[in-house]
Amino acid sequence: MSLFILLNFIYIFDLKNQKERSGFLLLLTNGTVITHDEDNRVIKNGAVLIEREEIKALGESELLKSKYPEAEVKDVQGKIIMPGMINTHMHIYSTFARGMDLKTEQPPRHFLEILEKMWWRVDSSLKADDIYYSALYAFLTGLKQGVTSVFDHHASYGQVSYSLDLVAKAVEELGIRADLCYEISDRNGPEQSQAAVKESKNFLKKIREKNSNYLNSRIGLHASFTLEDETLAEVSELADDLDSSFHIHVAEGRTDLEDSRLRGYNGAVKRLDQYNIWRPGTIAVHGVHLQEGELEILRDNDCYLINNPESNMGNAVGAAPLKEALAKGLKVGLGTDGYTTDMFESIKFANLMLKHQNSDPRPGWTEIPQMVFKTNAKLASQSFGTQLGVLKEGAAADIIVVDYSPPTEINSDNTYAHILFGINGGMVETTIVNGKILMENREVQVVDDQKITHETREQADDFWSRF
Ligand SMILES: [Zn+2]
């Protein structure tokens, strides 16, 4: 029985049914706690007390141990305790593309050909089982690297209906948080476009009924250059009806700009503005080829601009005007765009790219931590309705433990330098989401890691034979 059929009988199970830890207290002790709070407080020999889904207290280890003797103690042995990482732009559907033969005589020469020869072919070949395993493997890899919340932008024109349910099934099995959408596009004709609109609408309604703090959805759009005016008008109305914002690529390559000019607009942001795509909470991804006045449109409509430096470099599309965007007061976040699942890796690239594009070694020290630790946290907190990206009383218990023994002191003024130069996702040892331990001492607790890897490989072989 395929997963697609299975899902018609079993709708994604609810985490609430899992082991309820009513009144249960877990105390992480003996760590260096990086809080990412307003004062960027660092607590040495610190502890974090978790009660059910929330952080109940932070402080010195001995103090909290004596105050809460009933708590179960997990001694992290001097490691780093910090908030889980948040990825604000991801494509789980890219999993099977790794190392794949594109079966094309000429490798892609530019961004549009990368889409045509690779990504659009991948997504058009994805069937139900491919979608499920792509999601499960990608989210699991992220979880192991300390990523606790993901904003995914999904495309699978080989199987549109119920595709978001399959992605959600993977999310729920792992216990992470995810904001999901389907990328509506007219690139495969009106029938497929309508199927994508329907999938977005159906899934969004289900999510609204579910009203959880770990799954959310919004309307996904590919990009201006693959969307016709009628579709934009339709999704705008749908967003009004369902009170949704959007998640869309904008001005990533020059194609988006040139297409907008052919349609009579000097820029994709300006064209999309005519259809009220820019509304509070809308996630605009890339923004490399923005024109005069377009940063202001995004800012004035309370949107987020998400930077994906590795992807931009890999596709050779250019660099987004981050300094200008931040100077104008636009909310700028950081994502991986499917290039990696490791947010620590993206931090390193964001730092290098910002310095390189400005021919100036000074920028990055305030801009990148603002993006990855403040703005990503703000977007995730807004999406899931709970305080994320910070360790403080009352915030959600999304916490990671990192096996990092620094050669120099960590203090409130230099946590970012330690993260930038000293930490990568492979050093994450324990991942906790919503108070639940998903990985402990590098052992995934919620699923059989090796079994999933094995099954994903088998599914990938099958996918490659069909590609
Ligand atoms: Zn993307």
Helix (H, G, I), strand (E, B) or coil at 129: helix
Distance between Cα 259 and ligand 1 center (Å):
18
Contacts of 373 (CB under 8 A, 6+ apart): 36, 83, 389, 416
Q: 74 by DSSP, 3-state: which?
A: strand
CA–centroid distance, residue 152 to ligand 1 (Å): 9
Q: From ligand 1's centre to the CA of 102, what distance in Å?
A: 20
Give me ligand 1 centre to Cα 151, in Å. Answer: 10
Integer Cα distance of 83 and 33 in angstroms: 9
- If you measure from the C-alpha of residue 345 to the centroid of ligand 1, how many angstroms do you get, rounded to a whole number? 17
Contact partners, residue 237, CB within 8 Å, separation at least 6? none
User: Per the domain annotation, does 278 fall within a domain?
Assistant: no
Burial class (CB within 10 angstroms; exposed 0-12, middle 13-18, buried 19+) of 312: buried
CA of 248 to the centre of ligand 1 (A): 8
Residues facing residue 250 across a β-bridge: 286
- Domain for residue 416, yes or no? yes
Q: Kindly state whether residue 430 falls inside one of the protein's structural domains.
A: yes
Distance from the CA of 38 to the center of ligand 1, in angstroms? 31
Return the residue matching tokens 């005007």. 321
152 DSSP β-pair partners: 90, 180
60 assigned to some structural domain: yes
| 249 CA to centre of ligand 1 in angstroms | 6
Distance 190 CA to ligand 1 centre (A): 22
The pLDDT of residue 23 is 63
SS (H, E, C) 114-165: HHHHHHHHHHHHCCHHHHHHHHHHHHHHHHHCCEEEEEEEECCCCCCCCHHH
Q: How far is the CA of 136 from the centre of ligand 1 (A)?
A: 18
Q: Which residue type does 155 have? A: A
Distance 177 CA to ligand 1 centre (A): 19
Q: How far is the CA of 127 from the centre of ligand 1 (A)?
A: 20
Q: Measured at the alpha carbon of residue 336, what is the angle toward residues 431 and 387, in degrees to the nearest 5?
A: 50
Domain extent for 426: 23-84+390-444
Q: How far apart are the CA of 379 and the centre of ligand 1, in A? A: 17
Is the residue at 94 inside a domain?
no
| Gap from CA of 153 to ligand 1 centroid (Å) | 7
Cα(89) to centroid of ligand 1, in Å?
6
Question: Residue 68 belongs to a domain with what CATH number?
Answer: 2.30.40.10
The answer to whether residue 62 is domain-embedded is yes
Task: For residue 91, report the distance from its CA to the centre of ligand 1, in Å.
Answer: 6
Q: How far is the CA of 40 from the centre of ligand 1 (A)?
A: 31
Q: What does the alpha-carbon distance between residue 106 and residue 120 come to, in Å, rounded to a whole number?
A: 16
Dist CA 34 CA 28 (whole Å): 13
Question: What does pTM read for this prediction?
Answer: 0.95
Strands (E), 38-132: 42-51, 54-60, 72-75, 80-83, 85-90
- What is the H or E stretch that residue 25 is in? strand 25-34
Our separate counts of H helices and E strands in the chain read: 18, 18
Q: What is residue 105's predicted lDDT score, i.e. its pLDDT?
A: 86
The SS3 call for residue 33 is strand
Question: What's the 122 CA to ligand 1 centre distance in angstroms?
Answer: 14
Structure tokens at 131: 């979608």
- Cα of 81 from ligand 1 centre, angstroms: 30
Residue 365 CA, ligand 1 centroid: distance in Å: 25
**CB-count burial class (<10 Å; 0-12, 13-18, 19+) for 422:** middle
Between the CA of 172 and the centroid of ligand 1 the distance, in Å, is: 23
Ligand 1 centroid–CA 292 distance in Å is: 23
β-pairing verdict for 428-433 and 436-440: antiparallel
Q: How many domains does the chain have?
A: 1
Whole-angstrom distance, CA of residue 25 vs CA of residue 195: 46
Q: Is residue 334 part of a domain?
A: no
Task: Report how far ligand 1's centroid is from the alpha carbon of 103 (Å).
Answer: 23
Token pair listed for 286: 């890339």
Residues whose CB falls within 8 Å of the CB of residue 224, separated by 6 or more in sequence, listed in order: 248, 250, 256, 259, 260, 268, 271, 272
Kindly state whether residue 228 falls inside one of the protein's structural domains. Answer: no
- Tens place of pLDDT for every residue, the chain, 467 residues? 455 444 444 444 444 444 444 468 999 999 999 999 999 999 999 999 999 999 999 999 999 999 999 999 999 999 999 999 999 999 999 999 999 999 888 999 999 999 999 999 999 999 999 999 999 999 999 999 999 999 999 999 999 999 999 999 999 999 999 999 999 999 999 999 999 999 999 999 999 999 999 999 999 999 999 999 999 999 999 999 999 999 999 999 999 999 999 999 999 999 999 999 999 999 999 999 999 999 999 999 999 999 999 999 999 999 999 999 999 999 999 999 999 999 999 999 999 999 999 999 999 999 999 999 999 999 999 999 999 999 999 999 999 999 999 999 999 999 999 999 999 999 999 999 999 999 999 999 999 999 999 999 999 999 999 99
